[in-house]
Amino acid sequence: MECSRRDQVTTENQYTMQNPLTQYPQPEFPNQTQTAPGSVHQLQPAADHGETSYKGFGRLAGRKALVTGADSGIGRAAAIAYAREGADVVLNYLAEEEADAQEVVRLIEAEGRKAICIPGDLKDESFCRSLVSKAVDALGGLDILTNVAGKQTAQKDIAELTTEQFDATFKTNVYAMFWLCQAALPHMPSGATIINTASIQAYQPSETLLDYAPTKSAIVAFTKALAKQVISKGIRVNAVAPGPFWTPLQPSGGQPPEKIPSFGSETPMGRAGQPAECAPIYVLLASQESSYITGEVFGVTGGNPLP
């Protein structure tokens, strides 16, 4: 079976009307594994992060954004979209992801926007706090905090799930979000937004993701609680909950290897989502267009509805 029909579709930009079922590659995908944290260049087929498909309209002109996990996947797509909409962007990622991150830098700078790289490990509280401080200094402020970076490692049996992995998953996905939000809020003016990244796993957990799924449930609850706490300051907090998205996270340990060829086929759309399909939601929640939206979780799941 062909792994993709993308070459049969003209994806000029995200506004070109087309059949969403055949807009992007469909399973079966080739068998593949990567060493964590993975690279976009090893994905077969290639993922779309909006490099050529996302067109902006100045909806974030003059805004100052910090995006974690900005080298690949959904974070990469959000960073590209923010720049195309007029924002300057601080990109966070792991040091070993530098090559992928530099590609995002070039795309942002091609839009005439500022791109600041601050690599580092979000499991480190002191780094998270310094990341915010450096972002504020580099951009002259901060009004969009987008927490995308996450750790996901599939384990088939609870006996194989170590305390070290459990701790690292919660540190990356939950603690880092808390540290970054706590550090960022004193710098954020009225009209600023925080966008967290939950998952369909918060509502429909997979049996192999005993540590990852609870972190996403925590993100949902944290988002709703923080939204109530800070709206009196004119700051909104929302979350995006993706379903199965084609990113390096999946073949680098996020899924059991045998599930990669059919990844995404369980959705009503019959395919995995592409990062570029998630970016518009992040833009909406970062922009003034969503001024009456806070404490919400937006599913991007290929047809599997959230509760």
Which residues participate in catalysis according to the annotation? 212
CA dist 254 and 195 (Å) reads: 22
CA dist 60 and 302 (Å) reads: 27
Burial of 159 (0-12, 13-18, 19+ CB in 10 A): exposed
Helix (H) or strand (E) holding 13: none
Beta strands in 113-209 (DSSP E): 115-117, 144-147, 193-197
3-state secondary structure of 279: helix
Q: Is 205 left (phi over 0), alpha (psi -120 to 50) or beta?
A: beta
